[in-house]
Amino acid sequence: MNIKLKAAILDDYQHASAMFADWSVITDRVELTIFDQHESDETRLIQRLLPFEILCVMRERTPLNRKILSQLPNCKLIVSTGVRNASIDLSATEEFGITVKNTGYLASGAPELTWGLLLAIARHIPQESLNLRSGNWQTTVGTDLKGKTIGIIGLGRIGSRIAKYAQAFEMRILAWSPNLTKEKAIEAGAILASKDELFKESDFITIHMVLGKRSKELIKMDELKLMKSTAYLINTSRGPLIREADLIEVLSEQKIKGAALDVYDTEPFGADHPFRKLDNVLATPHIGFVTEETYRIFFQDTVRAIESWLATS
């Protein structure tokens, strides 16, 4: 009798894994279980994952730290979507003999969503659509992008693409990051600014930094207080880049015009979270990479990774 290995697909909220890849090529050797509900409690998570030899994880939705991995003796393979996953303890996986594989990634999703959020919050698109359905007509006045200043924090792969979008909309572009040079900024069509200058002068501020020990809470009350009362903040990178409590305070007191957010300290967050209720917040549920093309890469590469591991195990 052929005993199948058990594979868990975690945090697949929409059962997208079944839609975007052909898993039949491995189901003669692997029994698949899809979990469409996130489990944040470590004890319950360990119990959930204990039977599985293979874990398929979606980027950073479920952290796999040393404590969790040490209590999963059956786990032999982790396949993570994306080229890196900071929430997997790689030193622990090496120590416990767990193979880690990653998938490819499509870079266009996050910057496209960023610009969509920027346009939506500037022109009050969600409110106008909702108000129209309620029988109203022209209830807000939007903000033009042409001639406005956008501040880009982090001018890497995504930030540089945002700069190109801003050029097409004839915006003035400021940029800052700890190691950004004047030459690199000019190459991207931006003006190198100090951190304070960027926060004081920008009409829109968008964040594109990698989250790490040095960048955590890069933006706190000191920076938020510098913003214009008419300015907007956009974050599609990682929630902890901003001190969330400070941002909630500034938005609650309407010290800035608004924020468009796709990422948060805790994901998913609770039903009573302020971001669900504040009128000056446009919030989406971390969908920067949730596109057909990206999911096709994620899940097809996951199947291939498992196939490759099975062939050599």
Tokens of 189: 């069509």
- Residue that the structure tokens 């042409």 belong to: 146
Domains 5-106+291-312 and 109-283 share a fold: yes
Average pLDDT per block of 10 residues along the chain, 313 residues long: 89 95 96 95 96 93 94 97 90 97 94 98 96 95 97 96 98 97 97 98 97 94 98 97 98 98 93 96 95 96 97 87
DSSP H helix total and E strand total for the chain: 12, 12
Count CB atoms within 10 A of the CB of residue 254.
12
Distance CA 220, CA 199 (A): 11
pLDDT in tens, 239-264: 999 999 999 999 999 999 999 999 99
Look at the alpha carbons of 246, 252, 255, 261 in this order and tell me if their dihedral is positive or negative.
Answer: positive
| H or E element in which residue 250 lies | helix 244-252
| Catalytic positions | 238, 267, 286
* Nearest Cα to Cα of residue 237 among 278, 207, 259: 207
Distance CA 119, CA 46 (A): 42
| 3-state SS, residue 93 | helix
CATH of domain 5-106+291-312: 3.40.50.720
Tokens of 137: 């007509």
| H or E element in which residue 33 lies | strand 30-34
Query: Strands, DSSP E only, in 187-257?
Result: 191-192, 204-207, 232-235
Give the Å distances, CA to CA, from 1 to 4, 29, 245, 284, 313: 9, 12, 56, 48, 19
Strand order in the sheet with 258-261: 191-192, 172-176, 149-153, 204-207, 232-235, 258-261, 281-283
User: What kind of architecture, by CATH, is found in domain 109-283?
Assistant: 3-Layer(aba) Sandwich (3.40)
Dihedral of CA atoms 6, 9, 13, 17 in degrees, nearest 10, equals -110
The reported pLDDT for the residue numbered 273 is 97
Compute the chain's Rg from CA coordinates: 22
Tokens of 288: 């920067």
Domain boundaries, the chain: 5-106+291-312, 109-283
Distance CA 166, CA 181 (A): 20
The reported pLDDT for the residue numbered 83 is 87
What does pTM read for this prediction?
0.91
Tell me whether residue 138 is exposed, middle or buried, using C-beta atoms within 10 angstroms of its C-beta: 0 to 12, 13 to 18, 19 or more: exposed
| H or E element in which residue 79 lies | strand 77-80
Distance CA 199, CA 123 (A): 21
Distance CA 47, CA 207 (A): 37
Tokens of 130: 């909702």
The β-bridge relationship of strands 77-80 and 99-102 is: parallel
